[in-house]
Structure 1
Amino acid sequence: MYQQPTSGNTMRLSTVDSMFGAPMGRKATHAIRNATLRFIVHVCPLDIQGYDEGGAYWGMRNSGQHLWRAVSEDGEAEFFFDAPTREKAAAHVIGIYPESVVINTPPTRLAEEFILGYIETALALGDDTREGHESSDLRTFPVNAETETTMRSECLAFIEAHGDLLNRAYAHPGYSAFLAGADLWCTRNGEGVGYWDKGADPADAFHVLTLAAKALDNRYIEVGDDGEVHHYPSLTSTRIQ
């Protein structure tokens, strides 16, 4: 999975892979059972090989299950577990810490998951088309720093403009900020999936998000001569109708 250095403001998972390989899972830290903590509980997106955003290996989840992270605001407790929904995940946390509460996921973390979904999907759908090179998974190449900045800025601008719609979309069972970021890339570029296949009712958040994404110019990515992934406006520069 695409990685970048950890930032406390975005609650990204720390980068843990090394020259010795990726660790299996992550270490849990716990407080006393009757602690009164405020827990943030959020999904940890995994790539198609089962790695999290920081390089730890978890394997693939069973159908309908997601990997969740529970971390207290003060950092005293942090642990990981599987659950099908946010409601089930919150209940699991309170089952361990009955005197604690689960609070809303901070917008900065949701934005980070959205960006992860956007960039990961762009890389997954791209190919190394340089002459003399075999088609390769772009997720094995580093992302150019300027390209990363541009992609993050475009995601943040979309979130800023359509935050209320995205929050409505996140309330749908099984949907997440990571998937919303993936859907932005797919919808703006006319891929076979996107916001449009989640809801067709004109009053539905997904329908309005579809219109907003289709109003954006297309994008494509490729590996440059520097061996890094670059992000460009589409050669056709036409919008999806």
Structure 2
Amino acid sequence: MDAFTKAYITAMFFTELGEDNLKDAGLPEISTELMEKIEKDCAEFQAKAGELISDEFCHYKECPTIDYAGHDFWLTRNHHGCGFWEKHDWAEPASTKLTELAHSFGQMDVYLGDDGKIYAM
């Protein structure tokens, strides 16, 4: 799994389960169907984003740009309070184009199943 996808999953766990729950319970398993969708969406997003995911456009330097982009893909597609649209982290034209691209994937809602695995709705 690439760094972009790992960061995407980390953001998903954080926003959907909360940091306190992650520390106490550990990471739940992701269902096979959801993992396939995540990998497909992340690969497609990166292919379409191309050179917009680069140090040239990303001002956030506390982690590698590819990690930050994976994180922001989850946040932006789900309309969380931060993401690619933040001009202090992403320069134009990347900020607007990455936001529009992330929104084109639609929102993804996930839930913890009775079997302890995470699924998409």
Cα distance in 2 between the residues matched to 1:205 and 1:114: 17
Is the strand fraction higher in 1 or 2?
1
1:222–1:231: 8 Å Cα contact kept in structure 2?
A: yes
Aligned partners of 2:26, 2:74: CA distance in 1, in Å? 15
Aligned to 1:113: 3
Indicate the structure (1 or 2) with the bigger Cα radius of gyration: 1
Partner amino acid for 1:210? T
Contact 1:166 1:180 survives alignment (8 Å)? yes
Separation in 2, partners of 1:202, 1:118: 20
Secondary structure of 2:37's counterpart equals helix
Amino acid at match of 1:208: K
Q: 2:28 and 2:90 mapped to 1: Cα distance?
A: 39
**1:215 maps to which residue?**
104
The one of 166, 175, 188 aligned to 2:53: 166
| TM-align CA RMSD | 2.7
TM-score, normalised via structure 2 length = 0.80
Distance in structure 2 (CA, Å) of the matches to 1:139 and 1:215: 31
Q: Which of residues 193, 208, 211 is equivalent to 2:82? A: 193
Distance change in 2, residues 1:186/1:139 (3 Å) = farther
User: Structure 1: 5+ residue runs without aligned partners?
Assistant: 1-9, 11-111, 129-134, 233-241
Q: 1:150 to 1:211 in 2, by over 3 A?
A: same
Contact (CA 8 Å) 1:124, 1:139: kept in 2 or not? no
Task: State the SS of the aligned residue for 1:230.
Answer: strand
Greater relative contact order (Cα < 8 A, sep 6+): 2
Residue 197 of structure 1 and its aligned partner are, at CA, apart by 0.9
Q: State how far apart, in whole Å, the 2-side matches of 1:203 and 1:122 are.
A: 25
**1:199 to partner: Cα distance:** 4.8
Matched letter for residue 154 of structure 1: D
Which protein is richer in helix relative to its size?
A: 2
CA separation of 1:141 and 1:200: change in aligned 2, threshold 3 A: closer
Q: 1:146 aligns with which of 28, 33, 44?
A: 33
What's the secondary structure of 2:111's corresponding residue?
strand
Equivalent residues in 2 for 1:6-21, closer than 5 Å: none
Q: State the alpha-carbon separation in 2 of the partners of residues 227 and 114 from structure 1.
A: 25
Give 5+ residue unaligned stretches, structure 2.
Answer: none
Q: What is the letter of the counterpart of residue 191 of structure 1?
A: H
Q: How many Å separate the matches in 2 of 1:216 and 1:183?
A: 13
Aligned length: 115
TM-score normalised by structure 1 residue count:
0.43
